């Protein structure tokens, strides 16, 4: 099973700043099959990125994903107030699919 480790655990930034979230896999993720989700309190997760770098429908272009192999990054270019939330990565390169433990993005 591939273990995903997200860092940092908590990221404190201000609106307008750039956020960089990391997801590291215990072994190479085949075909860059990595997704990112956003979750706000009391809500279901929302798909942001799939295939490591493809934005899901309706996701603003300030969200971007990059990486391959074992190292992946979610970047939010200029933080909006609604971006402060929990973020999870998920690998679907091999079974069983697994999630990272999450990064909390909080307002500084």
The interface with other proteins within residues 57-86 (CB under 8 A) comprises: 57
- Nearest approach in angstroms of CB 69 to other proteins is 16
Q: Which of 22, 24, 46, 64 binds other proteins (CB under 8 A)?
A: 46
> Which is closer to other proteins, CB of 40 or CB of 78?
40
Return d(Cα 75, Cα 43) in angstroms, integer: 22
* Residue at token pair 């995903």: 4
- Nearest approach in angstroms of CB 16 to other proteins is 29
Q: Which of 47, 70, 75, 104 binds other proteins (CB under 8 A)?
A: 47
Q: Does residue 101 touch other proteins according to CB under 8 A?
A: yes
- Nearest approach in angstroms of CB 44 to other proteins is 4
Q: 3-class secondary structure for the chain?
A: CCCEEEECCEEEECCCCCEEEEEEECCCCHHHCEEEEEECCCCCCEEEEECCCEECCCCCCCEEEEEECCEEEEEECCCCHHHCCEEEEEECCCCCCEECCCEEEEEC
Summarize as ranges the residues that interact with other proteins (CB under 8 A). 30-31, 33, 35, 37, 43-47, 50, 56-57, 88, 90, 92-102
């Amino acid at each position: 099973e591939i273990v995903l480790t997200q860092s940092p655990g908590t990221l404190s930034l201000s609106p307008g700043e750039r956020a960089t979230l990391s997801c590291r896999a215990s072994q190479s993720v085949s075909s860059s099959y990595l997704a990112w989700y956003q979750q706000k309190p009391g809500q279901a997760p929302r798909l942001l990125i799939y295939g490591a770098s493809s934005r899901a429908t309706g996701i603003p272009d300030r969200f971007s994903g990059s990486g391959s192999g074992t190292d992946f990054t979610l970047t939010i270019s200029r933080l909006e107030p609604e971006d402060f939330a929990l973020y999870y990565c998920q690998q679907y390169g091999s079974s069983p699919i697994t999630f990272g433990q999450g990064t909390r993005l909080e307002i500084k």
